[in-house]
Structure 1
Amino acid sequence: MIDEETPVLDNHLHLDPDNHRGIDAVRDFARVGGTHLLVVNKPSWHLGVEAETGEDFREVFERTIEVVDEADEELEGRAWPVLGVHPGLVSRLVDERGFTPEDARDLMRAGIDAAAEYVESGDALALKSGRPHYEVDDAVWEASNAVMRHAFERGADLECAVQLHAEASEEMTEVAEWAEDAGLSRHKVVKHYAGGRLEGPIPSVMCDKGRLETAVERGEPFLMETDYIDDPDRPGAVLGPKTVPRRVAWLLENGHAEAVRNAHVETPDLVYGIDTEGTL
């Protein structure tokens, strides 16, 4: 059972009010005790945007901000947008649209710059970047790392966190060092879709019980997420919107109140500077 004074944050999910459940998914989350959301924009091409310039990403970012405003109305706490460029775009640009890796890099960095403007104005909380989680050739890998390092530079400029979509790994110390080289503290770098153990960035742990048990045992800062994608063709993917609250209840039933506070109060403050208790 979740106490009504316990914040419950899903650190990474997507909402698609135009093509699938949208706010209904938020209502499901809130109904079982969820209080706070970080809503990440969907990949641009999933919303029909085939960007040619950085400005073209604004349609995606502004629709995300709109749905976050709607989500706020349904939550005891609040929701925040996380905006950026999905790293898988590099393959779409190079393999399907004829871009060179260098031109793809430049377009994606321009998209990050556009997202950064929303963070600077206070309309978004953090940036999203990363690199492909699948095998690519050396030129695409180099371009992707350049995009990610640019996101770290912008995060440092704005003193905001950067969420990463990247390969499965328990060791990303080098990536955290790149952030520090850019002037961004490693605790402001978050690896989304993480396991319970990760060296380098803060892990945003996918909410299956095994990964959570590992994170609890480790005792280091961590976040919890579903990566719910709100896709009509994959209605349950990746995890449903009720999952984080249900896992919080499970952790509390098993005596892990300290870990719940770590993931839903202390780490959100450390990474994003947000007060999940004060916003309830």
Structure 2
Amino acid sequence: MIDDETPVLDNHLHLDPDNHRGIDAVEDFARLGGTHLLVVNKPSWHLDVEADRGEDFRPVFERTIEVVEEASAVLEGRAWPVLGVHPGLISRLVDERGYSPEEAREIMQSGIDVAAEYVADGEALALKSGRPHYDVDDSVWEASNDVMRHAFEHGGDLDCAVQLHTEASEEMTEVADWAEDAGMERHQVVKHYAAGRLEGPTPSVMSEKDRLERAAERGEPFLMETDYVDDPDRPGAVLGPKTVPRRVRWLLEEGYEEAVHNAHVETPKLVYGIDTETTLDRRSDGS
């Protein structure tokens, strides 16, 4: 079982209270022992925002901040927003809306600029960026890398983490090098939807048992996530909000206490500078 002093953090999920479960999903997470969340804004077009400039992303970010406040109210820990521009937007801009890759790059970079304002003001914890996880032509790939490196520039200036949505890989040292060149610490780069092994960034491991075993046995910093999408059209997509607490319980039963402390206390502090122990209400009130 998960004891009252064990924080349980889902490092990457989405909430959509306007179109699907929203806080109901958070309550499911909390009921099974989940305490902390990093809530990533949904892709802008999923919220009917067709961006042509950076300011167009602001309603997406504002709504994410609002739902994070609602989530924190029902958690025994708290939630934080992670804001940015989904890398798949470049294909929507180029293939569906007729922008050149260079124009799409400018729109996406300006969206990252707006997201960085919220980090600078203390309203968001980290940024989100990346590059397509599917095949694209060279010009789109180069533009996407430029967007990602732009996010790293903000990460270096703000001393904040950047979560990445990228292609599947266990070797991303070049990307970590780019972040370091921009003034970030390598561990502040987080690859979301990671397997149990990764060179370069910090892996945010999808909470499947085989991936978690690899991460636990490797002994390096890692995080756990579900990538819950909260989409009524894809109710079974990725992993549900109960998964991380269930997998923490399983890891503890399997004797991986150090790995649980690594993923839910040590690595969040290392990567984001957050303290999941002192922000856990149930430690102090005995409830």
Q: How does 1:181-196 map to 2 (within 5 A)?
A: 181-196=181-196
CA distance in 1, matches of 2:267, 2:203: 10
Q: Deviations over 1:101-150 (max 9, x none)?
A: 00000000000000000000000000000000000000000000000000
Shift of 1:249: 0.2
Residue 38 of structure 2 aligns with an amino acid whose one-letter code is L
Q: How many residues align?
A: 280
Question: Which structure 2 residues correspond to residues 73-88 of structure 1 after superposition, within 5 A?
Answer: 73-88=73-88
CA–CA distance in 2 between the matches of 1:201 and 1:38?
18
Offset at residue 93 of structure 1 (A)? 0.1
Partners in 2 of 1:112 and 1:4 — Cα distance?
38
Aligned to 2:8: 8
The question of whether the paired residues in 2 share the 8 Å contact of 1:172 and 1:200 is answered with yes
Query: Matches of 2:139 and 2:199 in 1, distance apart?
Result: 26
2: CA distance, partners of 1:30 / 1:43: 25
> TM-score scaled to structure 2, two decimals?
0.97
Q: Secondary structure at the match of 1:90?
A: helix
Task: State the shift of 1:4 in Å.
Answer: 1.2
**Separation in structure 1 between the aligned mates of residue 174 and residue 242 of structure 2, nearest angstrom:** 34
Where does 1:101-116 land on structure 2 (aligned, <5 Å)? Answer: 101-116=101-116
Map of 2:208 onto structure 1: 208
Given that residues 228 and 236 in structure 1 are in contact (C-alpha distance below 8 angstroms), is that contact kept between their aligned partners in structure 2? no
Deviations 1:43-90 (A, max 9, x none): 000000001110000000000000000000110000000000000000
| Deviation at residue 216 of structure 1 after TM alignment | 0.7
2:57 is paired with a residue whose SS is: helix
SS at match of 1:146: helix
SS at match of 2:74: coil
Aligned to 2:71: 71
> What do you get for the CA RMSD once the two structures are aligned?
0.3
1:174 corresponds in structure 2 to: 174
1:139 and 2:146 matched:
no
Match of 1:247 in 2: 247
Partner residue, 2:57: 57
Partner of 2:99: 99
SS state of the match for residue 106, structure 1?
Answer: helix
- TM-score, scaled to structure 1: 1.00
CA distance in 1 between counterparts of 2:5 and 2:234 reads 33
What are the residue-to-residue correspondences of 1:25-36 with 2, within 5 Å? 25-36=25-36
Q: How far is 1:236 from its partner?
A: 2.1
- Residues 168 and 194 in structure 1, CA contact (< 8 A), matched pair in contact too: yes
Q: Does 1:124 align with 2:104?
A: no
Unaligned runs of 5+ in 2: 281-287
Equivalent-residue separation in structure 1 for 2:38 and 2:133 (angstroms): 22
Q: Secondary structure at the match of 1:10?
A: strand
User: Match of 2:266?
Assistant: 266
Deviations 1:4-32 (A, max 9, x none): 11000000000000000000000000000
Q: SS of 1:267's equivalent? A: helix
Give the distance between the partners of 1:267 and 1:77, measured in 2 at CA: 16
**1:147-189 deviations in whole A, cap 9, x for unaligned?**
0000000010100000000000000000000000111111000
How many angstroms apart in 2 are the aligned matches of 1:40 and 1:213? 25
Please state whether the residue corresponding to 2:277 is helix, strand or coil: coil
Question: SS of 1:71's equivalent?
Answer: helix
Q: Quick one: percent identity of the two aligned structures?
A: 82
Does the 8 Å contact 1:9/1:36 carry over to 2? yes
- Give the Cα–Cα distance (whole angstroms) in 2 for the partners of residues 254 and 139 of structure 1: 47
Distance 2:192 2:230 in 1: 17
